[in-house]
Amino acid sequence: MYITRLTPNDNKWEKPSSRYGKCQRNSLFECSPNNYGHEEWLNRNDGILTKDGWRYGFVQAFKAKDKIGKPYEVVFYTIRSEPVAGIFIVAYCKNMIGISINEAQVVYNYFMEPLGAELATIQLMRNELINVGARVETFDDCRRIPRNILNVKFKTEDLIMLPKPILISKEEMPENVRNGHFRFKLHNLLSRDFFMRCFR
């Protein structure tokens, strides 16, 4: 079991919210001027990011190529700057798999097709960024390499989003995570006790 960080979101990670609550460290992608993270669609469960029974999304920690094709059990947290600053446990996925460059291209092409009379998924995502004042030019740049916006897949039933995020202190984080928890990587949860406390 692993733990990693998601960008903050006020819409249950179903669609982008806004710059509100985002980290103020300019070195991070989510900060101004971008004001969004590609993880903000991770919990999109209306079918528009689904293909062949899989839901697709993006998790920064899965950008590494050694995560491709392997199933991971992952706990997710976020760090907010407002209205209450702190670390929040937000979700758990029983089986998340990193996808290859080729698969990312295939699903990207699929999501570029219009949904009947509706907009194509990628265009809808772009419009949602415009609606919250995010920097859509950055999204357009990332689309040149589809794996920059779609790099994981999982089954809908395997993702559990907590109804209300759980605020925890840095000291409550697993000891091996505390000093490096600002980095977007998969940290090994050496004990399941932490998971059991958050998701019991």
Each residue's pLDDT tens digit, 134-183: 999 999 999 999 999 999 999 999 999 999 999 998 888 887 777 665 56
| pLDDT tens-digit series, residues 41-78 | 999 999 999 999 999 999 999 988 889 999 999 999 99
Assess if residue 157 is contained within a domain.
Answer: yes
Assess if residue 197 is contained within a domain.
Answer: no
Assess if residue 199 is contained within a domain.
Answer: no
What the block records as the tokens of 4 is 């990693």
CB within 8 Å of 175: residues ≥ 6 apart: none
| pLDDT tens-digit series, residues 77-107 | 998 877 888 899 999 999 999 999 999 999 9
C-alpha span between 170 and 176 (Å, rounded): 11
pLDDT at position 182: 55
Assess if residue 200 is contained within a domain.
Answer: no
The total of structural domains in the chain comes to 1
Q: How confident is the model at residue 198 (pLDDT cuts 50, 70, 90)?
A: confident
pLDDT at position 189: 86
Looking at per-residue confidence, does 132 or 117 come out higher? 132
CB of 79 within 8 A of CB of 87?
Answer: yes
DSSP code for 89: E
The values of phi and psi at residue 81, to 5°, are: -105, -15
Query: Which pTM does this prediction carry?
Result: 0.91
DSSP code string of 25-87: -TTSTTSTTT---GGGGTT--SSTTEETTEEEE--GGG-SGGGBT-EEEEEEEEEE-SSS-EE
Assess if residue 39 is contained within a domain.
Answer: yes
Which amino acid is located at 188 in the chain? N
Domain that holds residue 152: 2-192
Assess if residue 179 is contained within a domain.
Answer: yes
pLDDT at position 146: 96
CB of 198 within 8 A of CB of 75?
Answer: yes
Q: How confident is the model at residue 25 (pLDDT cuts 50, 70, 90)?
A: low
Assess if residue 148 is contained within a domain.
Answer: yes
